[in-house]
Amino acid sequence: MKNYRDTLRTFLLATALGLGALSISQSSRADELLIGDAGDNSVKAFDADTGAYHGAFIPSGTAGLKGPMGMIFTDGQLVVVNQNINTDLSGEILRFNGTTGTFDNKLVASSDRDAPFFPQGIVRGGPNNSFFVADVGIKNQCSNQGNIKEYSASGAFLADLDHHRVTIPFHPRGVVFGPDGLLYVSVIGCLLDPSDPHFDPLSGYILRFNATTRAFVDVFVSNATVSDLHRPEGLVFDRFGNLWVASFRANPNDSDKILKLDGKTGQLLDSIVLSNPQSTPPEARAFAQALIFGPGGNLFIPITSNGLNTAAAGQVRRCNTKTLVCDVIVPANTAGGALVNPWFIIFRKSDPATLNYRNRD
């Protein structure tokens, strides 16, 4: 399983790499944005208004952290998904003190029978205020599906959401609760087995589940209805009910984007282009795995790039969702806190179910 995990992780990143007048309102009280950096297995803290580095909230490798993914704040704790990359272990869910960053305990240990194998996104909500974790899956054949795993407040395994009526390869990556109370799940198709007839590295889907009954509801959108939806991961609704989702490019002539979808119909409304290979000169490749809303109603996007000409290629962009204009709030090689491979991002005021920013300006 170790070889599969490493291969999948490498393939997801390699596929992403190879396929080839901002108005900021200041919050009344400064918040921190926390970023899981898979490059050095830490969680770094930055000022949400200025981008100034505040230090490693969780230092590299604390509590065996290897591959930090989804994060939420709940019950005064920072809950972090740990993929346990480059080990023989399954994934796990770790809890840290939300104020000091010190390790508290494991909500779900890798040794647990129902630990997620390759976990990514996490939210907490629904009728039982459960934790829902996206588990990409365990084997490289397209027929071997992933799961959305539900755990209680104490970390007890409750169930896998019922996806037996899902007719596509089911490899979930991101999860979020929508305004309608349904659980929205970003799903990729089969990436690892070109010999399989279902192999489709460009596919992307957003599915809906009922968190009360655990039943599959429908396919909300797919790359058949939104042509730019490729290998989606992070997704979040804005205050107007629109759904924003991170999407990779289709080929080297295409652009990585953040898509804005109508939250009721799934219609593509707009997009934020992260880099433009067709510009003169061509812009360096930049792509995102996740995104979140923060102070001022702005969209915060951790960026990974192989073309920033720096040893540390990560940055964070802050985007006005009305003008679609972005600035770089955390530049590459930020003094003392350079981001290498930033994926998931969270604020203390982020709702653990919807990921919306509480006490909006």
Question: How high is the pLDDT of residue 165?
Answer: 94
- For residue 6, which phi and psi values (nearest 5 degrees)? -65, -40
Is the Cβ–Cβ distance between 252 and 277 less than 8 Å?
Answer: yes
Question: How high is the pLDDT of residue 292?
Answer: 97
pLDDT beyond 90 at 191: no
Question: How high is the pLDDT of residue 24?
Answer: 37
Determine the residue type at 275: S
User: Token pair 């655990």 is at which residue?
Assistant: 214
Q: What would you measure as the largest C-alpha separation in the chain, in angstroms?
A: 56
Give the Cβ contact number of residue 233 at 10 Å.
28
Is the Cβ–Cβ distance between 272 and 324 less than 8 Å?
Answer: yes
Q: What is the pLDDT of residues 19-35, one digit of tens each?
A: 543 333 333 346 899 99
Question: How high is the pLDDT of residue 29?
Answer: 41
Question: How high is the pLDDT of residue 20?
Answer: 46
pTM exceeding 0.75: yes
Record the tokens describing residue 180, joined without a space.
Answer: 């309608």
Helices and strands in the chain, H and E counts: 1, 24
Question: How high is the pLDDT of residue 193?
Answer: 74
Is the Cβ–Cβ distance between 62 and 81 less than 8 Å?
Answer: no
Residues 6+ apart with CB under 8 A from 215: 161, 162, 209
Query: What is the C-alpha separation between 6 and 118, in angstroms, rounded?
Result: 10
Burial group, residue 85, by CB count within 10 angstroms (0-12, 13-18, 19+) = buried
Record the tokens describing residue 243, joined without a space.
Answer: 């759904």
Question: How high is the pLDDT of residue 140?
Answer: 57
- For residue 64, which phi and psi values (nearest 5 degrees)? 75, 20
| 3-class state of residue 310 by DSSP | coil
Closest CA relative to residue 44, chosen from 59, 23, 61:
59
Question: How high is the pLDDT of residue 8?
Answer: 58
Question: How high is the pLDDT of residue 25?
Answer: 37
Per the prediction, the chain carries an average pLDDT of: 88
Give the Cβ contact number of residue 24 at 10 Å.
15
Question: How high is the pLDDT of residue 230?
Answer: 94
Give the confidence band of 11 by pLDDT, cuts at 50, 70, 90: low
Query: What is the C-alpha separation between 339 and 116, in angstroms, rounded?
Result: 27
Q: What is the pLDDT of residues 307-328, one digit of tens each?
A: 544 444 689 999 999 999 999 9
pLDDT beyond 60 at 297: yes
Give the confidence band of 58 by pLDDT, cuts at 50, 70, 90: very high
Average pLDDT rounded to a whole number, residues 151-156? 98
Q: What is the pLDDT of residues 98-145, one digit of tens each?
A: 999 999 999 999 999 999 999 999 999 999 999 999 999 865 566 678
Is the Cβ–Cβ distance between 172 and 185 less than 8 Å?
Answer: yes
Q: What is the pLDDT of residues 63-90, one digit of tens each?
A: 999 999 999 999 999 999 999 998 999 9
Give the confidence band of 59 by pLDDT, cuts at 50, 70, 90: very high
Q: What is the pLDDT of residues 230-247, one digit of tens each?
A: 999 999 999 999 999 999
Domains of the chain: 2-347 (2.130.10.10)
- Opening angle at CA 182, ends 178 and 187, nearest 5: 85
Helix (H) or strand (E) holding 11: helix 2-18
Question: How high is the pLDDT of residue 26?
Answer: 37
Query: What is the C-alpha separation between 152 and 107, in angstroms, rounded?
Result: 9
Closest CA relative to residue 32, chosen from 47, 43, 42:
47
Query: What is the C-alpha separation between 293 and 205, in angstroms, rounded?
Result: 22
Give the confidence band of 7 by pLDDT, cuts at 50, 70, 90: low
